[in-house]
Amino acid sequence: MSIHGKNFIGNKLSATGDKSSKIYDINSGNALDGDFYHATSYEVNTALQLANKAFIVYKQKTQNQRADFLDAIADEIMNLGDELILRTMSESNLPRPRIEGERGRTMGQIKMFATLLRDGSWVEASIDTALPNRTPLARNDLRKMLRPLGIVSVFEASNFPLAFACAGGDTASALAAGCPVIVKAHSSHSGTSELIASAIIKAVKKCDMPSGTFCMVHGSGRSVGQQIVMDERVKAVGFTGSTQGGMNLFNIANKRKTPIPVFAEMGSINPCVFLPSSLEDTKKLASMYAFSITLGVGQFCTNPGLILAIKGAKLEEFKSDLKKEIEASSPAIMLSKSIQESYEENKNKAIEQDGIILLAQATQENTSSQGRAVFTSVDAEVFIQNNKLQEEVFGPYCLLVECKDIKELNEAISCLDGQLTATVMGSNSEIVEHINLISNLENKCGRILFNSVPTGVEVCHSMQHGGPFPASTDSRFTSVGTGAIKRFVRPVCFQDCPSEILPQELKDENPLNIFRILNGENTKNSV
């Protein structure tokens, strides 16, 4: 299909705005197909009206019907074929293997939610039947389960144009929960978003879902995005991006007449603690971490931006080895010119802080839009006193914090802000010996790793991608894995409800394979 450059409102294409923008090939600088029209206030309101109307119908669809819908979305994305791959490559400069892998991950997580729905146990259904003869007071019939919140507003991320974008984890989990979704497309990959949106709309029609189950609009966050979030019909927000962007949405949502949850995954520097035993093979360790620091030009939310270690001869060897690795690395084109400019600005601000020593940077000359890897160091005493050194530098940047001893290492960990991940490198015996340090580090993150690198997020039931503020706005939830669905539901209790209108999961004879609590006992129905 061709790129229309229009908004997807309900099952229709619409473009009446007088403002439009173009996308340029990040390598050649040539304009790509499509003028992307910013949604007017009227179009945004139309999308909200359709989504609100769709919610009443969509939330009553069975879990199997929603599962079939998700499978259809994945199939339609695959049907886009090479057109999607080539467009995404042009807009992001990401290589074909990365895009194909991300497409596979996107379809995999959509189908993962479909499987979750068919199992059904995620709704946490519980039933306490009536006890009319109980004394001194009778008990009513009480049945509880998780039910969808309502319209979810999703803001696409810049660094994952497929997996954290139009049909990414936020959209997939919200649709799985029974919530209509309105996506605000990211301006850096508008064409990619339109192709994906077209696939979702085809699935909506194919599965006879109500018009308004899915909508996507173009436009700025300050106008289009703010109008969506401020609207009382919207019940939750999903966001992946910068701390500033996430907090702007969070503050807007809390100024509403009815505040709503904003599930924002924001900045993280992902501290990596090197215990002394980890420095036995400094060359291997330096190679491992240089690869992680520069992977994807450092444009991962789990990039290892901070290393903490104890001073000594072995640490000096590691510094020398990592310096060589960083200097030998090649600058590469970043996702967009604006991201590269932001990296340069934030990197320079970080290097200019008192006490920072520039240890190494990629020696190959970089050109426009390329990111150049940088390795710096600072004494722990300075780091502890200067919170600005914890600000994320989105790109291939890493700061080493050098500590005098284990006590100062613990103090440095104690001053850390919330993180998505934290990593510990060391032998098993040394890790066990410093269990208090590990406990201290656990309090700072959503996922703690041992003897690995933080880059890479597995999409599965046990993944936690979210952490204490400011890594995310609510550390109780994840944006990756099946647990992501819990963000867009709330518990509802039905008391003495007629069986005819009870949700299927709460009926006495439930055909779904669902774990339930019946009068205090765990039960599981057979299919």
**Helix (H), strand (E) at residue 422:** strand 419-425
Identify whether the C-beta of residue 216 lies closer than 8 Å to the C-beta of residue 185. yes
Mean pLDDT of 159-183: 96
Q: How many CA atoms lie within 13 A of 273 on its CB side?
A: 32
Q: Is residue 244 located within the same domain as residue 291?
A: no
Is the pLDDT assigned to residue 4 strictly greater than 70?
no
Report the SS3 class of residue 17: coil
Q: Is residue 366 located within the same domain as residue 384?
A: yes
Find residue 216's DSSP bridge partners.
8, 183
pTM: 0.93
The enclosing domain of 347 has a CATH number of 3.40.309.10
Percent of the chain scoring above 70 in pLDDT:
94
pLDDT-derived band at 1 (thresholds 50, 70, 90) equals very low
- Determine the Cα–Cα distance for residues 322 and 309; give it in Å rounded to an integer: 14
Q: Is residue 307 located within the same domain as residue 397?
A: yes
Identify whether the C-beta of residue 308 lies closer than 8 Å to the C-beta of residue 403. yes
Q: Encoding tokens for residue 348?
A: 């320079």
Instruction: Please report, in angstroms and rounded to a whole number, the separation of the first and last CA atoms in the chain.
Output: 41
pLDDT-derived band at 175 (thresholds 50, 70, 90) equals very high
Mean pLDDT of 472-478: 97
- State the pLDDT at residue 525: 47
Q: Is residue 207 located within the same domain as residue 323?
A: no
Does the annotation count 280 as an active-site position? no
Catalytically annotated residue among 43, 194, 265, 325:
265
Integer angstrom CA distances of residue 279 from 39, 273, 482, 524: 55, 11, 37, 50
Residue 492 lies in a domain: no
Mean pLDDT of 238-263: 96
Report the SS3 class of residue 246: helix
Is the pLDDT assigned to residue 5 strictly greater than 80?
no
Report the SS3 class of residue 476: coil
User: Tokens 């007071």, residue?
Assistant: 137
Q: Encoding tokens for residue 281?
A: 């093979």
Using alpha carbons, select from 306, 294, 302 the residue that is nearest to residue 370: 294
Q: Is residue 252 located within the same domain as residue 322?
A: no
The enclosing domain of 198 has a CATH number of 3.40.605.10
pLDDT tens track for 420-466: 999 999 999 999 999 999 999 999 999 999 999 999 899 999 999 99
Q: Is residue 204 located within the same domain as residue 217?
A: yes
- Rounded to the nearest 5 degrees, what angle is found at the Cα of 346, between the Cα atoms of 341 and 348? 95
Report the SS3 class of residue 51: helix
- Pairing assessment for the beta strands 306-310 and 397-403 based on DSSP bridges: parallel
pLDDT-derived band at 517 (thresholds 50, 70, 90) equals low
Catalytically annotated residue among 166, 301, 398, 403:
301
C-beta atoms surrounding 433 within 10 Å: 15
Backbone angles phi, psi at 171, to 5 degrees: -65, -45
pLDDT tens track for 332-376: 989 888 899 999 999 999 999 999 999 999 987 667 778 999 999
- Determine the Cα–Cα distance for residues 306 and 308; give it in Å rounded to an integer: 7
Mean pLDDT, the chain, rounded, equals 92
Least confident segment among 28-42, 309-323, 501-515: 501-515
Beta strands in 63-166 (DSSP E): 125-128, 142-148, 151-155
Q: Encoding tokens for residue 9?
A: 């409102």
Residue 82 lies in a domain: yes
Q: Is residue 338 located within the same domain as residue 209?
A: no
Does the annotation count 232 as an active-site position? no
> How many distinct structural domains can be found in the chain?
2
Range of the domain at 427: 271-450
Beta strands in 232-354 (DSSP E): 234-240, 262-265, 271-274, 306-310, 332-333
